Each structure stands twice: as structure tokens, then as C-alpha cells.
Amino acid sequence: MKLRLRITWLSCLVALSATLLRAENIPDLFLHDGVSLNGEWKCIVDPYETGFYDYRREQRDLNSNPSRAETFFLDAKPTGPGERVEFDFDTSPSLIVPGDWNTQRPELLYYEGSLWYRRKFDFAGLTAGQRVFVRFGAVNYRADVYLNGKKLGTHIGGFTPFTFEATQLLKQGANSLVVKVDNTRAKDGVPTLSTDWWNYGGITREVKLVTVPKKFIADHRFALESENTHVISGWVQINGAGEGESVQLSIPELGEKLFVKTDASGRAAFRFTPARLRLWSPETPKLYEVSIAHGGDTVVEPIGFRTVRTQGKQILLNGKPVFLRGICIHEEFPLNGGGRVNTADKAKQLLLWAKDLNCNFVRLAHYPHNEAMTRLADELGLLVWSEVPVYWTIDWTNAETYQNAQNQLSDNIERDANRASIIIWSLANETPVGEARTKFLSKLAMQARSLDQTRLLSAAMEKHAKPGAENINVVQDPLADIVDVVAFNQYVGWYDGLPEMCGKVSWEVSYNKPVFISEFGGDARQGLHGSKDQRWTEEYQEDLYRQTIPMLDKIDGLVGFSPWLLLDFRSPRRVLPGIQDGFNRKGLISSEGARKKAFFVLQEYYQKRAEAGKLANLNPKK
């Protein structure tokens, strides 16, 4: 008994560290073609985690001979009439993948817990040396993945992709892929227990099976070093390669073709200067088809080239000051039943609404959005703020929580490092000033900078009243010393007094850095009309926007803002009957897709800003 306990304890420890350590060498494989595993998956709702723990609460996947009767990942069927098997995926209901479970079945709207997915697929077989991976775009929040009754791995974090190697466990013919998804909120999680958004559970992004040669293209980076010299540099990582292997890069539209060699770690660095390069910008979102080939493996993707940096209180895009005409967006589509965005068409509609507002910038709050979003932003010419869910109050002193946050940040940066649209990595939202928090976020900032030196860092901070001067707002946060852009959320006129207060306050943001207002706004129920003094009406929200914009315009070093937010979104915190009904109503567009009055205030202001920007570019200051 003693021995058994020790083994279980040891294996628990191994299993835990495996989930927390990021598998550095497992590639993302988004660009590789694969067999889609999207569509109908059979599902079992398992609030007591019967399929995962036995009646002594021992984890079944740590038992070398788990019971066929209740171990769901075995996907068992009775072998004869007398065998007791207390579950059956075949006769269980289905859910669509990708998709959250909450909006697919009314009884799952508020469900937080465990739910098992099973997908059967046929596999034709492998030729010698090939490797197969199963890639998940995202699963919220924890995924335990099994193939043919054996564990492939565990992943934690609801908004970033992960890939497991399936080569050894795949069978020719029928295969069973089982995923236990658990979206239980946890104090030590990232995000933690409280958020102001819906905790959509499920396999929310695409799943595919990718077959690659023994040595394959695992990752690559392309970045423009300077808008003046047009030097492009970067690297390609070949998984499985040693020194001296040839990699071909080409950008046909630029007439570029070059061969580079890998080093001992399989990495091939390059640096070249194309003639006639057109830079990417919101006005001209030029993308070039970049192709990489090694052995029998090829990947192709559209990439834009631009630079971004700060100079004093300005953000320079391709060397010129830019004003960010932004809007915040949650990854939620309001129409047709709502829920997490699960198609490129829905992602595109969100961005088109932002374009209709005359935006050149979107803040993708408060976690990494799906891959389509940032790729479409590249195509449509929208600059992007990309964030990780280090939101409000995280368990700052917990080493595992830190590791989890770092994994999510790293995966987000690695997934999107070639997106011209992304100019800012955001580390956090509205975190409380304090020593442990600052230590946590400084470490996270170091990690971000070690992975990417070509973008700006920021975080949505908070403002405070200046001691002894109630009407002067200041930003005093050691985090502001760490980031490149001093961003903060402010709600004067909503959480902080009435809109008329905007005319009374002034701002002191004393950092020689660009200042960005990452949120402002107030709730309005679309169709509810009244005087501008009446909360929840469209007129109140409209007046709030009219008063806020001139107040912010006076802030020294202002480089833009992203009001909260494009669309009303579901939040269990928002319970006011007849007004909120489970939705945060700060959207400029309602959950039915109707524009509120404030939409037009911002649209007009951004139109003027865009025209002023064009004029400034025609007559740059000498």
C-alpha cells in the first residue's frame, strides 16, 4: 500500500510538472494543411468527473489498468451482454466543434465543469518517417487529451493553440480521440475567479490532424529592420534538422529567392534587402506571399512589413507618428444565438464594424482571439493590441500561476509574431499596484521582450486621484516604467461621477512615453431613450462620449484610445432586469447588431482624426 501511494504521488508530480512546463519543441503547425476534425463530436457532461477520478478520487489515467466501466477516455463498449459499461459516447448527444457548449444547449448556458468530447476518425496510415500531430486552436480552460485510450497530454489556458504528437498512438483504420474539457474557474488560474465576461467552455477553435515529413518547418520569423533601408531579417526553424541543411525562401512578387543553411539547432537565419518593397500600413495593408521550403515540406503565408517604435511621447509607424483610432472587442459574436466567435466570417464581421467606425486600431480584449482575427486585421489594415488574461487580481505569489501566464503569453507571441497588424503586446488589465504584482509583471515583460523585440509592450493600468487634489487624475504605477506605452482605463462619467465631471478633471501623466486610454464608456440599452441625465439610455451614453473625447484630447502625449467597447457582451455579473439581463451594455452596437447613438459620435470624431492624419502626412513637419 505504501509503495502504491508513493508511485501515485510521484506520478502526480510528474503529471503536474508536465502540464506546467511548456513543450518548447512542439510546433504550432497552423500553416500546414491537415485533416479537419471539426464538426459533430459526441459529448458526455460529467460534473462529478466520474470518467476522470475513481471513487477514491484517484486519477484514472494514472492507473495502468483503469476500469472499463467508467473510464470515459477508453471509449469502451460492452464486449458481451453481461459487461457493465456505464457510459456510451455513441448514443450520447453531440456538440459542434469549434464552438462553446454554453450557446449550443440551453441547459449548458451556465455550465462550468467537466465535459467529455469524442471524435472518431479513419486514418489511412503512415509512410516511413512521417510524423502526425493533433492541433487544437483553443480549448477553454483545461484539456486532457487521449487517443485510442492513451493520454496524449494536458493543456492549461483557454485561448492559445496547442499541439500533441500522435504518431505512436495512431492506428490504421478507426481511431478514437477523446478530450476532457474543464472550464471550472480557479483562484490560481489565469484568468482567476472573477472576470467581467462569460466563461464559455468547450473546444472553441478548430481541431486538425497534421502529417509532416520527419524533418519539417516548425516556425519562422520575418521582420522589417528599418523603414529606411528595407532590410528584412529573421529565421526559419526546421524540426529534426541538423547543421547545413538548405532552406529556400521566396517572395515571388518581389522577385526574391534565397537559399539559407541551418545551424546545428536546425535554425536558418537570413537577412536580405528587397528592391521595391511596399510597406504595410492601415492605409495600404500590403501583404506579400512568403513561401518557405525544406525537403518535401512547404509553408506559404501572407506577411506585411512595417516598423513600429516610440519616440518620446509618440508612436511611430514606419517612422511616422500615428494616432490610434481604436475600439475594444471581446471575442464574442452577438447575433444568431451569440457565443464565442467560431468562424472567420464572424471574426470578419466584428472587424468590419470597427472599420465602419473609422477605426485603424482594435484592442482585442482580454485574451488572445482566434487566428482568423489577427490575419484578417492584417488584410483589412487594422492595428492590433493583443492581450493575455492576466486580469484584475491574479494569484501573484504563486509560481504555477506565473508559469501559466508566461506560457499563455509565449504561445500568443509565437502564434502571431508574423502579423504586421499587431503592434502592442499587452501584459495585463487593471491589476492592483503592489510589490508582488509588479514583480510578476516585470518577469512577464522580460519574457515578452526575449521573444519579440519588434513590438511595443503595454498593459491597461488604472488612474488615481492625486492626493490632496481630487480633480487631478494621475497615473502612478511602477508598471509604467516597464512598458513602452502608458495605457490606462478610465470611467469618469460612469463609475466615477456623472459625464459633466469630464469638464472638471485634469490629467497628469508624467512619463516621457506615449499615453493611450485603453478603456472608457458607459452602459446603454439600445432602444431605451430619455434625457442625457438618465442612466442606461442611449442619450446618456452619447453625452458621455461627447464629454469624454474633448477631455482626453487635452492629455499631453495622447496617442489614441479604445473605448469600451464595440458590442454588448454576455457577463454573469450584469444582472439588472430589463436593462442588462446578463449583458454588459457598454457596446456601441447592441447584442442584436443595432448601432446606438454614441456609435455615431465616435464615428464622426474618428473621421475628423483620419482626415487630419492624412493632411499631416501630406505636409509633414520639417
Binding site for ligand GCB (CB under 6 A): 196, 366, 429-430, 489, 519, 564, 584, 586
Q: Do residues 359 and 606 lie in contact, with contact meaning Cβ atoms separated by under 8 Å?
A: yes
By beta-carbon proximity to ligand GCB, the closer residue of 103 and 429 is 429
Q: Do residues 225 and 139 lie in contact, with contact meaning Cβ atoms separated by under 8 Å?
A: no
What b-and-e string marks burial along 412-448, b requiring 16 or more CB atoms within 10 Å of the CB? Answer: bbbbbbbbbbbbbbbbbbbbeeeeebbebbeebbebb
**From the CB of 581, what's the least distance to ligand GCB, in Å?**
15
Kind of pairing between the strands at 361-364 and 383-387:
parallel
Helices and strands in the chain: count of H runs, count of E runs: 8, 35
Q: Do residues 439 and 479 lie in contact, with contact meaning Cβ atoms separated by under 8 Å?
A: no
Torsion angle in degrees (nearest 10) through CA of 218, 223, 225, 231 = 80
**From the CB of 492, what's the least distance to ligand GCB, in Å?**
13
By beta-carbon proximity to ligand GCB, the closer residue of 61 and 538 is 538
3-state secondary structure at position 373: helix
By beta-carbon proximity to ligand GCB, the closer residue of 374 and 426 is 426
* Strand extents, DSSP E, 383-524: 383-387, 422-429, 456-462, 464-466, 469-474, 486-489, 506-508, 515-519
Please report, as a single letter, which amino acid is at residue 462: E
Q: Do residues 333 and 348 lie in contact, with contact meaning Cβ atoms separated by under 8 Å?
A: no
By beta-carbon proximity to ligand GCB, the closer residue of 262 and 429 is 429
By beta-carbon proximity to ligand GCB, the closer residue of 342 and 584 is 584
Instruction: Tell me how far CA of residue 481 lies from CA of 67, 249, 507, in angstroms.
Output: 56, 39, 18
By beta-carbon proximity to ligand GCB, the closer residue of 169 and 517 is 517
**From the CB of 391, what's the least distance to ligand GCB, in Å?**
7
**From the CB of 158, what's the least distance to ligand GCB, in Å?**
16
**From the CB of 564, what's the least distance to ligand GCB, in Å?**
5
**From the CB of 405, what's the least distance to ligand GCB, in Å?**
17
**From the CB of 370, what's the least distance to ligand GCB, in Å?**
19
**From the CB of 452, what's the least distance to ligand GCB, in Å?**
24
**From the CB of 48, what's the least distance to ligand GCB, in Å?**
32
What is the distance between the alpha carbons of residues 98 and 371, in angstroms, rounded to a whole number? 13
- Give me the residue label for grid cell 500568443: 412
Instruction: Tell me how far CA of residue 602 lies from CA of 123, 285, 485, in angstroms.
Output: 53, 23, 23
**From the CB of 477, what's the least distance to ligand GCB, in Å?**
15
3-state secondary structure at position 131: strand
By beta-carbon proximity to ligand GCB, the closer residue of 149 and 572 is 572
What is the distance between the alpha carbons of residues 190 and 193, in angstroms, rounded to a whole number? 9
Q: Do residues 520 and 489 lie in contact, with contact meaning Cβ atoms separated by under 8 Å?
A: yes
Instruction: Tell me how far CA of residue 386 lies from CA of 343, 361, 374, 461, 540, in angstroms.
Output: 19, 11, 9, 15, 30
By beta-carbon proximity to ligand GCB, the closer residue of 409 and 487 is 487
By beta-carbon proximity to ligand GCB, the closer residue of 410 and 429 is 429
By beta-carbon proximity to ligand GCB, the closer residue of 536 and 564 is 564
**From the CB of 580, what's the least distance to ligand GCB, in Å?**
10
Kind of pairing between the strands at 207-212 and 35-36:
antiparallel
**From the CB of 497, what's the least distance to ligand GCB, in Å?**
15
**From the CB of 313, what's the least distance to ligand GCB, in Å?**
24
Q: Do residues 87 and 115 lie in contact, with contact meaning Cβ atoms separated by under 8 Å?
A: no
**From the CB of 489, what's the least distance to ligand GCB, in Å?**
4
- Give me the residue label for grid cell 492576466: 390
| Ramachandran angles phi, psi of 446, nearest 5° | -60, -40
What would the grid cell of residue 569 be?
457582451
Tell me the Cα Rg of the chain.
25
What is the distance between the alpha carbons of residues 342 and 348, in angstroms, rounded to a whole number? 11
By beta-carbon proximity to ligand GCB, the closer residue of 28 and 196 is 196
What is the distance between the alpha carbons of residues 608 and 45, in angstroms, rounded to a whole number? 52
Which class for 225: exposed (0-12), middle (13-18), buried (19 or more C-beta within 10 A)? middle
By beta-carbon proximity to ligand GCB, the closer residue of 270 and 583 is 583
Q: What proportions of the chain, in percent to the nearest 5, are helix, strand and coil?
A: 20, 30, 45
- Closest residue by beta carbon to ligand GCB: 196
What is the distance between the alpha carbons of residues 309 and 224, in angstroms, rounded to a whole number? 12
By beta-carbon proximity to ligand GCB, the closer residue of 376 and 517 is 517
By beta-carbon proximity to ligand GCB, the closer residue of 219 and 519 is 519
3-state secondary structure at position 356: helix
